[in-house]
Structure 1
C-alpha cells in the first residue's frame, strides 16, 4: 500500500491547482482521507486495449495507408532497374538491378528524353505561374468587389467544371487549327497554344478554390489600406497576396502536377516529336504491340517525378493550411 503523507491545507490547494493545470493519468485528483490526510494516486498500469482504443488505431491506419501509397512507387522503381525491359519480370521486386534502362532512354537518338523533359518543365512552370496570377485576380474580384453578374459568374464556374475536359477535345482542336491559320505562333503544334488551353481549363476551379480562401482575409484590412490612400491594385499586390500565400502555393503545385501528367490535350495539339511533353513522348515507348520497353518507360517516369517531388517538398509547409483554411466559408 502506498505511503500516506499529510499535506497542509494551503499546499493541498496548490497541488490541486497544479493538477488542474496539468491533468495526467498518473495524477488525476487529490483524494481525501477520513483522518484529514491527502493521497495522490499512483500511475495506472499500461493497458494495450486502452491505448489502442485511444490512439493506437490511428497508427495502424497510418501504416496501412503508407504501405498502400508506397507500393506503386516501389514497383515502378523496381521495373526501372530491370535490365530486361519487360514488365512481367518485375513482379519479383528488385530481382535484377541495373541502370541499363536509364542509359538507354538518355542515349537513344530516337527518344529525345531531354527535350521532352525541358518542354514539360517550361509548359508546366508557365502554366502554374499563369494559373496562380489569373486565378488570384479573379478570386480577388469576386471576393472584394460587388458588380452585376457576380453571383451568376460564381455559379457558372462551378457548373462548367462539372463537364470533363475530354468532351472539349474536338472543339479545342478545331479552334486551335483556326487560330493557327491566322496566328501560327499560338496555333497547333506550339507550346504557347497548349499553355493557353491549360490556362483556360484550370481557371474556373482554381478561382473558386482561391475565392474561399480570400474570404477568410478580413475586409477591415482593405478598408484600413483605403483610408491610407491605397487603391485596389496596391492592396492586391502588396497586402493580399502575402496573406494568401498558402493557397497560391497549393494552386501552383496542383497546376504543375496536372500539366505534367496531362496527356489527351497534349497528344492532340503537339504533333512534332521535338515539341511533345514527357506524358506524350514516353507513351511511344510502350505503344508498339510487338515490343514495349516498360523498363525505359519506368525509368523515364521516375525521372519525370523528380521535379514534382522537389516542388512538393519545397511547398509542403503551405499545403495543409492552403487546403483547409478556405473550407470554412
Structure 2
C-alpha cells in the first residue's frame, strides 16, 4: 500500500539543516491513502489467534503496559499502590509477569522509585508541559531535567501541535533535539525519549506520517500516539501508519524506533489486534516491550481477567483485581 519513503539522500544533517530542506523532505513523503489505510487496519483487526498463541499474547501485552495515572488528584498513596501492582499485577499468581513501566507526573517520580526499588520496572514521566505542550522551551527542559534527576528512566514529551500544524517544522525538530539532550544523566545512561504527537489533533494521516519521520530524525527513541486527554486517542489506522514509518526508517537508517499507542485501549481483544498489526506491519522484531508499549490504565485489569480465565477456566470479576 505504501511506497518506500524518500531516501535520506546526502544524509540526515543535510535534510534537517533548514526549515526549507526539512519541509521539502517531509512533504516529499508518499501520501497516505485514507480509504486504503482504514481498510487494511480493519482487516488486520479481524485476525484471530489460537489458544496457545493467545496465552502468549496476553502475557506479552502485560509486559508491554505502561501502567499510567495522570490525574490532578493523584496522591503518593495511589501512586505507591499502582507501582506495587506494576511489579505484581496478580499477587495470587507468581508466574504473572510485571508490566513495562509506571507512568506518572514528574513530582511523583521519587515516590515510584522508592516503591519499585530494583524490580526492573521502568519509571516513565510525562514532561514538557504535558498535555498541551504550550510552554517556553526553558520550562520544558527544566521539567525534563527534574524528572530525570528524580529517577525517571523514560521521558514522555509532547510536541507543540500548534507549531507543527503551522508548518514550523524546524521549531518542533529543535525542541525534540533539546529535550533529548536534557534526558542525559551525568552518572548513568540517558533516559529514553518518547515523543507524543496527539494524533487526534493532527487532522490528517499525512501529518501522522510526517510527524513520525520528524520525531525519529530528531532522536526519538519511541513515537507515541496520544496523551490520553484528547479524543480520538490511539486508533488502529494511526498506529499502522506509525509502524510503517518505524519500519521504513530502519530500512533507511539502520536505527530501530519503538511505538506506543496510548489512550482508549481497554480490552484484551483490542490489545491483541495491535499485536497482530505490529507483527504484520513492522515485523516480529517489534514484538518486545523494548520496542512496543501500551499506554493504559484500565487495560491491565482486562488482560488479567482473560489470563485467569485461560489458566483456571473461570472468569474473575473486575473487582477481583485492584481498581486503578
TM-score for both structures, normalised by structure 2: 0.24
- The structure with the greater share of residues assigned to strand is 2
TM-score for both structures, normalised by structure 1: 0.23
Q: Which has the higher contact order (CA 8 A, sep 6+)?
A: 1
- The structure with the greater share of residues assigned to helix is 1
- Bigger radius of gyration: 1
